[in-house]
Structures are given as C-alpha cells and as structure tokens.
C-alpha cells in the first residue's frame, strides 16, 4: 500500500507512484509547458506596453521642447516679492501670449556665418544687411558674431546686447536663424574646413546671388568676415529694402536689462522737462582717426598722432588738420558746437544729454559749452554707480543706452556724421520725423571763422546758420543717389524712405 498509492498533499488529485495511469513526471511536464506559454504572453504584453510608453514619453519631450519654454516663459508666476522682500501671492493676471509669425518653409541652400566689424551702429546696420542677404539666398543665418578686436575691445556677444530670442522668432517668417551651426558642420568649422572671405563693398543683391550663393552650395558653410557697407544703398528690390528696415526697427531689440536702464534715464530726464541729445563725437579715437587737432597743444597733437600710427587698419596717417576742417570732414569742436546751438536759438535752459565717451581735453575743452548750456548731463551723472557697474568696459552696451535716449529726445544733434548719427537719424524719421538737426559742417566752419574774425556780426551769423539748416531738421526727403560713387551718396539707414508712409502731395519734397 505504501508503494502503490499516495495522497497529493494539495488535496486536488490522487496519483500513482508506480505504473498505470498518468505519472507525476508527465503531469509536471504538461503544467510546465502551459506555464511557459503564459509567461511568454505576459512578457510580450509587458514589452509592448513598454514600447508604447516610451513612444509617448519621446513625443511628450519633443512637444515640451517646442512649446514648453514658450508656455513657461509666458506663464504668470504664482508668487512675487514686494518692495520689502515679503513673499506675496500674485492675483490672476492675463499675460498676453506673443503671436509668433508662421515659419517660412524653403529649401535650405546652406549656412551663412558673419563676423561684424566696427562699433555698435556699424554692426547694427550690417546685421540688417546680412539678414536680407540670407533671406534672398534661401540660406540659414547663424546669429552674427560681434567685433571684439576694434579700438573699443568690447567682449560683448550678440546676446549681451540684443534680445537674441526675439531676433530669431520675429524673423522666422522670412529666414531661418540658428544660434550655432548643427554639430556636424560645427566640427568642420573647428577643423578649419570653411570658406571665409570679405564680400565686395556696396554690392548689389545680384552679386550675392551670382557669386556668394554658388560658394555656399559648394562648401555648405560660408563665412563673411567683414560686413560693413557690403550691400548697396540704392537699386535694391523694394522687399529687400523693407526687410532691412524691419530688422532695424523691430527685430533688433536690446536686452531687457539695457531697455530697462534706458527707460530709467529717459524718465529721469523727462521729470525735468524737455531735453536735447548732443552726440558730441570728440573722443580720443575719433580725433586720432580723423587727424582733427584744432585747439590742442603740441603734446596732445603728438599723442593723437601716435595713436593713429598704432592702428594699422587706419590707413590715412599724414593728415592736414586745417584743410580737413575746411572741407567739413572734422567733427565740430565743443566751442564750435556751443556757437552753433546759440545761433540756432536752442533754449539755453534745456537739458543737454551728452551721448559720447570721454571728451578729449576734458573740462578745458568743455568749458565754453558748459557756460552756454549749464544743464549738461550724462548717464554717469544721472545714474548711480551701481546702475552702470554691469556695463563698465562694455562700450557697445553703453552706446546702446545712448541710442535709446537719443531716439526719445526732443532734439537730436550729432556733431559728426558717423554711424550712430546716421542710424539714429533714420530711426527718428521712422518714429515720425522727430527733430534731428543735421549740421552742415563745411558751411558752419566758414561762417564761424568769419564771425570770429569780426567780418560778420552775431545777428548776421545767426541768420545765416538758421537759414542754412531750415531744411536739415529731419524732415521728409529722398536720399541723394550718386551712381558709381556710393561713398558720396546718402546712407540707406540715415533715410530709408522706401519704408515710410509717403507724405501727401502738398507735403512732398524733392
């Protein structure tokens, strides 16, 4: 009995240990086979579920990268600190979500890298040109590199001065702009496998289509290593001219920090009434470059001359200062500026904001102007040291502050027709032809010399100055065009009239 029968301890079934019927080994084999199939099904279900789950995760991450930053950047914070630093719950506020223009879809012909040269406003106009060129060639533009080797040696990157995200998104319906090259192409550039060249100055847009585009298609990436004055002022398609304006007036916004500090300066000035911005281009670099040395002693003249020879890219070395002044090619001195403003009958009590760096010659050269217009102010006198500390040794960021204040001033007067003077002039025209006095320096120095010599009375001098500038106040006009002499014609950015609403017939001018 002990050998023949046994009771299954589970109580489910009596089985034989010996011969006859289904043995224990066969039953176990059958149950093992069923169990293996069940485990296989379970594994397949788990594997399929895992694949589906990871697919969903990848899709969510992709959507998050596209929309997440936009949503989070515009999502109102739940808390904020009051002026005393106390944490408070913020009430529901509807923050408008910026409407982005639709992306322009086009076949990408390659990538365009650019290195801007010069000061802030020279680079600003160059960036506008490069966007228009990239759009016309159907290429991808890499965010421009700013000049760090010029006289000012400003280490600022594009994103330190301009709102780079606004720049990219606001132009996405025209051209694709990336902050950097894709990794594969970036590696090629790092290995020096790139075609780099300076384009020809004042070129028509067809030059870029016929000469530059084939190079981009061949090399995939082309680097333009100089960008100043590379696109002609005139003769361009209207859509190109309008795009240059759009970049300048809309896409190139300064960073929030610069914009905020600019508003602070403007508000401080407005509290005390109207103000004039005087772009007194009388810094050491300008005087050394131009060779204009009126009113300086021998030691100062020698210092300026040494500086001019120290910079090999300043090609003109031997300069006749008096002859250059008579030709109207020197910035007005502070003394000449004071006489001119008085002759124009600018209110002597108006606030005069000096948009410039350190004036060469200091208080000695500024004494006459300060006596004539005692309400002279600068950003350094209006703001606390802590306000400007972040901007010290960053000349382009300091120039950006002056640019913002210049746009909002009641009167803008540049004493030299440099890049800032030209670009601000054009921007003020776009803002409604705000009063901008464009000085005729060649005539002015002639009149000033006559007055100083006693051959002209004050009344005669003042009447002549006012008459000469009656139509030089930033009023509507068309650019002077001189075929085959682009350097002598009016600069596009000083008066981009194609972008403005044209005056009525009774207001039209030649």
Which sequence spans correspond to the domains of the chain?
A: 111-251, 256-507
Has residue 20 got a pLDDT over 60? no
pLDDT at 190: 87
Q: CATH number for 111-251: choose from 3.40.640.10, 3.40.50.1370, 3.40.720.10, 3.40.50.11340.
A: 3.40.50.11340
Q: What ranges in 279-418 are assigned the alpha helix state H?
A: 284-290, 298-310, 321-326, 334-343, 362-372, 379-382, 385-389, 395-408
Q: Confidence class of residue 31 from pLDDT cuts 50, 70 and 90?
A: very low
CA distances from 275 to 219, 343, 353, 373, 465 (A): 52, 18, 7, 12, 21
Taking residues 225-247, report their average pLDDT.
96
Strands 351-354 and 376-377: parallel
Q: Pinpoint the alpha helices (H) of 140-255.
A: 158-161, 164-170, 183-190, 205-207, 213-219, 238-246
State yes or no: pLDDT of 193 exceeds 60: yes
pLDDT-based confidence at residue 41 (cuts at 50, 70, 90): low
Of 204 and 43, the structure prediction assigns the larger pLDDT to 204
Cα–Cα distance measured from residue 252 to residue 244, given in angstroms and rounded to the nearest whole number: 11
Q: Give the per-residue pLDDT at 506.
A: 46
* Residue 52 predicted with pLDDT over 70: no
Tokens 């992306």 correspond to 103
CB-based burial, 55-71: b 16+ in 10 Å, e otherwise: eeeeeeeeeeeeeeeee
**More reliable by pLDDT, 395 or 136:** 136
| Span 358-373, average pLDDT | 96
Q: The tokens of 75 are what? A: 């999502």
What tokens were used for 184?
């594969």
Q: How confident is the model at residue 44 (pLDDT cuts 50, 70, 90)?
A: low
Contact between residue 250 and residue 140 where contact means Cβ atoms under 8 Å apart: no
Q: Is the C-alpha dihedral spanning 452, 456, 460, 466 positive or negative? A: negative
Share the mean pLDDT of the chain.
85
Among candidate residues 323, 141, 156, 297, the one with its CA nearest the CA of residue 216 = 141
Q: What is the mean pLDDT of residues 348-374?
A: 96
Say how far apart CA 282 and CA 414 lie, in whole Å.
11
Residue predicted with more confidence, 262 or 47: 262
pLDDT value of position 458: 98
| Angle (deg, nearest 10), helices 120-137 and 395-408 | 90
Could you tell me which residue, 24 or 221, shows the higher pLDDT? 221
pLDDT score of 125 more than 80: yes
Question: So what's the pLDDT on residue 95?
Answer: 59
Structure tokens at 176: 């694709």
Which contiguous run of DSSP H or E holds residue 441?
Answer: helix 441-453
Quick one: tokens of 250? 């809309």
| Percent of the chain scoring above 70 in pLDDT | 79
pLDDT grade for 99, boundaries at 50, 70 and 90: confident
Residue 264 has pLDDT above 60, yes or no: yes
**Residue 75: pLDDT above 60?**
no
Position 252 scores a pLDDT of: 98
pLDDT at 366 over 90: yes
C-beta of residue 108 within 8 angstroms of C-beta of residue 140: yes
Radius of gyration over alpha carbons of the chain, in Å?
A: 35
**Lowest model confidence (mean pLDDT) among 68-77, 126-135, 339-348, 492-501:** 68-77
Residue appearing with tokens 């680097």: 223
Q: Which of 137, 376, 126 is nearest to 248 (CA)?
A: 126
3-state secondary structure of 292: coil
- What CA dihedral angle connects 375, 346, 280 and 414, to 10 degrees? 140
Q: How confident is the model at residue 192 (pLDDT cuts 50, 70, 90)?
A: confident
The mean pLDDT of 167-196, rounded to a whole number, is 93
Of residues 180 and 67, more confidently modeled: 180
Q: What is the pLDDT of residue 172?
A: 97
Count each helix (H run) and each strand (E run) in the chain, helices first: 20, 13
Q: Is the pLDDT of residue 182 over 90?
A: yes
Question: By the 8 A CB rule, do 310 and 253 touch?
Answer: no
Confidence of residue 9 (pLDDT cuts 50, 70, 90): very low
Q: What is the pLDDT of residue 280?
A: 97
- Is the pLDDT confidence value at 500 over 60? yes
The answer, yes or no, to whether residue 399 has pLDDT greater than 50, is: yes
């Amino acid at each position: 009995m002990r050998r023949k029968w046994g009771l299954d301890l589970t109580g489910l079934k009596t089985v034989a240990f010996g011969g006859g019927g289904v043995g224990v080994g066969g039953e176990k084999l059958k149950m093992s086979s069923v169990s293996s199939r069940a485990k296989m099904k379970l594994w397949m279900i788990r594997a399929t579920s895992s694949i589906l789950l990871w697919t969903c995760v990848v899709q969510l991450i992709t959507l998050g990268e596209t929309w997440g930053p936009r949503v989070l950047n515009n999502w109102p914070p739940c808390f904020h600190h009051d002026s005393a630093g106390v944490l408070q719950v913020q009430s529901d506020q509807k923050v408008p979500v910026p409407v982005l223009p639709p992306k322009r879809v086009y076949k990408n012909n390659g990538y365009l890298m650019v290195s801007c040269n010069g000061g802030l406003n020279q680079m600003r106009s160059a960036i506008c040109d490069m966007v228009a060129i990239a759009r016309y060639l159907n290429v991808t533009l890499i965010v421009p590199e700013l000049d760090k080797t010029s006289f000012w040696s400003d280490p600022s990157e594009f994103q330190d001065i301009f709102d780079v995200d606004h720049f990219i998104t606001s132009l996405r319906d025209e051209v694709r702009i990336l902050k950097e090259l894709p990794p594969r192409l970036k590696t090629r550039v790092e290995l020096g496998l790139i075609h780099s060249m300076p384009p020809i100055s004042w070129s028509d847009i067809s030059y870029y289509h016929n000469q530059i585009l084939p190079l981009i298609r061949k090399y995939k990436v082309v680097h333009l290593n100089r960008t100043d004055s590379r696109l002609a002022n005139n003769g361009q398609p209207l859509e190109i001219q309008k795009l240059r304006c759009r970049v300048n007036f809309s896409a190139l916004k300064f960073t929030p920090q610069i914009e905020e500090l600019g508003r602070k300066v403007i508000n401080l000035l407005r509290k005390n009434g109207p103000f004039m911005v005087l772009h007194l281009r009388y810094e050491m670099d300008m005087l050394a470059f131009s060779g204009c040395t009126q009113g300086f002693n021998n030691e100062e003249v020698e210092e300026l001359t040494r500086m001019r020879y120290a910079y090999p890219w300043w090609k003109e070395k031997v300069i006749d200062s008096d002859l250059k002044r008579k030709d109207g090619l020197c910035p007005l001195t502070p003394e000449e500026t004071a006489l001119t403003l008085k002759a124009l009958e600018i209110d002597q009590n108006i606030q005069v904001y000096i948009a410039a760096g350190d004036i060469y010659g200091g208080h000695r050269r500024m004494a006459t102007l300060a006596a004539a217009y005692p309400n002279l102010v600068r950003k350094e006198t209006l703001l606390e040291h802590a306000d400007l500390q972040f901007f010290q040794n960053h000349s382009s960021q300091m120039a950006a502050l002056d640019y913002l204040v210049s746009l909002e001033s009641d009167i803008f007067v540049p004493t030299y027709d440099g890049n800032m003077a030209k670009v601000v002039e054009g921007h003020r025209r776009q803002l409604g032809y705000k009063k901008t006095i464009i000085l005729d320096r060649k005539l002015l120095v002639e009149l000033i010399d006559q007055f100083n010599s006693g051959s002209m009375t004050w009344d005669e001098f003042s009447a002549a100055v006012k008459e000469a500038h009656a139509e030089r106040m930033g009023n509507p006009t068309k650019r002077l065009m001189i075929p085959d002499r682009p350097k002598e014609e009016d600069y596009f950015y000083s008066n981009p009239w194609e972008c403005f609403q044209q005056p009525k017939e009774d207001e039209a001018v030649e």
